[in-house]
Amino acid sequence: MSEKDAQNTYRVGDADTRPWGEWRVIDAGDGFAVKRITVNPGERLSLQLHHGRHEHWTVVAGKALVQLGAEEIALTANQSVHIPVETKHRVSNPGSQPLVLIEVQVGDELDENDIVRFDDEYGRS
């Protein structure tokens, strides 16, 4: 982390429903946040990047197709991927069951405002 104080606006229990599914904060502290993310079958998140955080996604149920930069990575339960800061990424659920993943965020800025969207099927880019 940088010399500035880490900003974490996430609190345990924070949650939101999105067009693709939902997320819930299950742990948070100085410089980190942990979310449980559910992506509905056939849905995907926006292509995005973050300036203030790294993310590590671990699939716990279902199938994931992760776009990481120019690479596509297929993941199933107990597989994971690291998303470096400033790297374009998205996850989609190509399966017929909900995709559940655990997202660990680490960084100086942990906030929903640190999402830069490039492509979004739901008109949010």
| Residue ranges covered by each domain of the chain | 9-116
Sign of CA dihedral 62, 84, 33, 113: negative
Domain 9-116 belongs in CATH node 3.30.2270.10: no
pTM of the model: 0.87
- List C-alpha distances in Å: 109 to 42, 51, 62: 30, 8, 29
Per-position pLDDT tens, the chain of length 125: 444 455 788 899 999 999 999 999 999 999 999 999 999 999 999 998 999 899 999 999 999 999 999 999 999 999 999 999 999 999 999 999 999 999 999 998 887 778 888 876 767 55
Under a CB-based contact definition with an 8 Å cutoff, are residues 25 and 34 in contact?
yes
pLDDT given for residue 5 in this prediction: 54
